[in-house]
Amino acid sequence: MIRLSRIFRHFLFPVGCMLAGLALAGCSPVGLVIGAGASVANTATEDRGLDGASSDTMIDSTVRGALGRAGYGYFSDVNVTVRERRVLLSGFVRSENDRKKLVEAASKSDGVAEVIDALRVGPSPEMSDSARDKLIEQEISAGLLFDGNVKSNNYIAESSQRVVFLMGVAQSQAELNRVIARARNTDFVRAVFSFVLMKNDPKRVGPNETVTSVTITRPQGIPGPLVRSESDSPAAKENR
């Protein structure tokens, strides 16, 4: 049976965003072209560039295919985020064996340089949790967008039961500190984990570089599943 939280997170919400975008564009071909052009221009100004973004899109598709062959259809609460060939797996699985199975599948996918295993074992989140996570992601993104001291399009925030994972490239430590602070100060956030690399970090891998081995990173201290009494409380943060 397909969970409503899964439908909301991966179908209804994206469709709603698409319809909202069409409304803002007046549903006209000109509006759609302008929107697409703005998106390309925005991607081009990211540090990873158009080639890097294209490579990440292909890797994302490859990883999702690999997870599907490994039984991803039964793992309804796993999120995949790719930045500069680094794959972040977050969300929930049913057992440690399932977690290891998905990490292995992702690590064997073409083009992957690193797998960040932020998966947790626990029950599927409620639909209200998925809605809250989307609101958290939107609030963080909006805050960064309007921060003149942050190159916002270099960052992405993924929230899973109010635990925020940051990916991207920082121009400086000062900029990264602002991004982390923005995420930490967002209502209802329980904890923040940064996997952001500095601009001059040798760990950054270009779209055409050869990868001889895949790094698997397992962060420590990620909070477990939400206790129901915590669901609507903005307090008790465990930021990192």
H or E stretch covering 3: none
What pLDDT is stored for residue 201 in this prediction?
Answer: 96
The H or E element containing residue 32 is: helix 29-44
Q: Are 109 and 58 in contact (CB under 8 A)?
A: no
What CA–CA distance (Å, rounded) separates 166 from 179?
A: 9
Of residues 149, 170, 166, 148, the one with CA closest to residue 157? 166
Query: DSSP strand E in the chain: where?
Result: 77-83, 86-93, 114-121, 155-160, 163-170, 191-194, 197-198, 215-217
Q: Note the pLDDT of residue 124.
A: 85
| Residue the block writes with tokens 């920082």 | 170
CB-CB contact of 89 with 118 (8 Å): yes
Say how far apart CA 141 and CA 136 lie, in whole Å: 9
pLDDT at residue 170, rounded to an integer: 98
Task: Report all structural domains of the chain as residue ranges with CATH numbers, in order of start.
Answer: 48-230 (3.30.1340.30)
Tell me phi and psi for residue 150, to 5 degrees.
-130, 135
Nearest to 88 by CA among 57, 121, 117, 109: 117
Burial track 40-66 (b if 16+ CB lie within 10 A, e otherwise): eeebeebbbeeebbebbeebbebbbeb
Q: Which pLDDT value is given to residue 1?
A: 39
How would you write the pLDDT of the chain (240 residues) with one tens digit per residue?
345 444 444 445 444 444 444 444 454 555 444 444 444 446 667 889 899 999 999 999 999 999 988 876 655 689 999 999 999 999 999 999 999 999 999 999 999 999 999 999 998 888 899 999 999 999 999 999 999 999 999 999 999 999 999 999 999 999 999 999 999 999 999 999 999 999 999 999 999 999 999 999 999 999 999 876 655 565 555 555
Element (H, E) at 154: none
The reply to whether the predicted model has a pTM over 0.75 is yes
In angstroms, the Cα distances linking 177 to 111, 133, 149, 166, 183 are: 30, 22, 11, 12, 10
